Amino acid sequence: MKEIKSNKKNIFRKFFIKLCRIFGFEIIDQSNFSVPTSSKYLNETISVPGKKSITLPLGSVKITRPVKSLDIILRTCMSVNMLTQSKKRMFEMNKEEYTRRTLISLIKSINYAKVIFKNTKFKIYIIDYDSKKDQIDGLKNILKNSNINFEINNLDFKKFSSQIKNINEEHKEVTLNQKSNMSNIHQSLYLSKEKSEDLIYFVEDDYIHEKISLSEILYTYERLSSILGSDLIVCPTDYPYLYTQSENTKIFLGEKRHWRQIDQTLCTLLTSNKIIQKYWNELTSMCKIEHYPFEKPLHNIYKKELCISPIPSLAVHFTNINSIYGLSPNVNWKKLWDENEG
């Protein structure tokens, strides 16, 4: 009798699980922390990209804004160690090494995200200024072995630098290094406007990423844009300067990170083609006039659009160790550096 009773109970359980799957409900068995409808445990990711974001105990959010594509635009310049400083970077290596590890970390993160976001298209673009041929060939070889679509372009410095005012907002002459930086951002914006279908990630070549970086960003983007009904801007880095302020902020829940609203970033950020189109004049002004601070047009946009950054960081800015826009707190910097040696 006990065996018959057990079998009946088991049959009913299987039927109930199938029924819940049909109607899109999730069952949680708190006796063993499993999710029978997903055949997973609670310590695993149970969200479904493009369909629903699930966090406990808050439940499920229907994804109404799935991510179609992610274009990563990496701006490289291996001939200049630091844009505006003469200080040395952490680990005191040649700039080429930071660029190379940035690319390796992005490839790892894309390949990890591709397994999860099966319906999202990924592509890497590199816009380079003044690097040596063998350095570019090195990046090309890394990309050829990555199984990721890519395109490498040279910066059209003459075209874009001719649009830059020679005197900046501080009434000083704009340096050649800054002009190349502004020109590269300008060409990146045009590339995103012309070729990107959905999300664009603008990256400077000294940000080393965690493997889960892009999947966490995409999970969070889908979740928050679906809840808020609007596109947003994502900074991947938890900058030290954020802990020097006592201003109020808003906290959001992502997949594996908490996220906070911020009002300042550098020029590594992710957003949508829609946002680029909406704020085209503001964004391109940053490429024609050296503002003070340089990112002032971005900060003005953040007064109108939500910009968030993760806690803890998903990418670390490997600049000078004393920079308030450098090494993120509560991250194992050495481990991240070593993991992306290649």
Mean pLDDT along residues 100-115: 98
| pLDDT reported for residue 3 | 43
Answer yes or no: is pLDDT of 6 > 90. Answer: no
| pLDDT reported for residue 5 | 43
One-letter amino acid for residue 147 of the chain = N
Opening angle at CA 170, ends 166 and 176, nearest 5: 35
Domains and CATH numbers, the chain: 1-44 (no CATH), 69-339 (3.90.550.10)
Residues 6+ apart with CB under 8 A from 154: 127, 128, 129
Q: Enter the tokens of residue 305.
A: 């659009």
One-letter amino acid for residue 197 of the chain = E
Give percent of the chain above pLDDT 90: 78
Answer yes or no: is pLDDT of 33 > 90. Answer: no
Q: Which residue has the higher pLDDT, 90 or 209?
A: 209
Across the strands, what pairs with 74? Answer: 126, 203
Query: 205 with 98: CB under 8 angstroms?
Result: yes
Answer yes or no: is pLDDT of 284 > 60. Answer: yes
Q: Which residue has the tokens 């990146």?
A: 188
Answer yes or no: is pLDDT of 75 > 50. Answer: yes
Answer yes or no: is pLDDT of 229 > 60. Answer: yes
| pLDDT reported for residue 2 | 41
One-letter amino acid for residue 4 of the chain = I
| pLDDT reported for residue 56 | 76
Range with the poorest average pLDDT among 103-117, 131-145, 313-327 = 313-327
| pLDDT reported for residue 84 | 66
Residue 80 binned pLDDT confidence (cut-offs 50, 70, 90): confident
Residues 6+ apart with CB under 8 A from 8: none
Burial class (CB in 10 A: 0-12, 13-18, 19+), 6: exposed
Answer yes or no: is pLDDT of 50 > 90. Answer: yes
Q: Which residue has the higher pLDDT, 195 or 2?
A: 195
pTM of the model: 0.91
- Give the closest residue to 14 by CA, choosing from 65, 6, 152: 6
Residues 6+ apart with CB under 8 A from 190: none
Mean pLDDT along residues 217-230: 98
Other beta carbons within 10 Å of 39 = 10
Across the strands, what pairs with 150? Answer: 124
- 100 membership: H or E segment, kind and range: helix 95-116
pLDDT digits (tens, 9 = 90+) for 139-157: 999 999 999 999 999 999 9
Q: Which residue has the higher pLDDT, 7 or 110?
A: 110
What is residue 273's DSSP assignment?
H
Mean pLDDT along residues 156-177: 97
- Give the closest residue to 222 by CA, choosing from 119, 298, 324: 119
Residue 342 binned pLDDT confidence (cut-offs 50, 70, 90): confident
Average pLDDT over the chain, rounded to whole? 90
Range with the poorest average pLDDT among 35-49, 152-166, 170-184 = 35-49
| pLDDT reported for residue 4 | 38
Give percent of the chain above pLDDT 70: 86
Q: What CA–CA distance (Å, rounded) separates 157 from 164? A: 11
Q: What CA–CA distance (Å, rounded) separates 288 from 299? A: 17
Q: Enter the tokens of residue 334.
A: 């050495």
Residue 60 binned pLDDT confidence (cut-offs 50, 70, 90): confident
Mean pLDDT along residues 187-209: 98
Residue 276 binned pLDDT confidence (cut-offs 50, 70, 90): very high
- 9 membership: H or E segment, kind and range: helix 2-23
User: In Å, what is the CA distance from 285 to each residue of 219, 280, 290, 296?
Assistant: 31, 8, 9, 10
Mean pLDDT along residues 322-336: 93
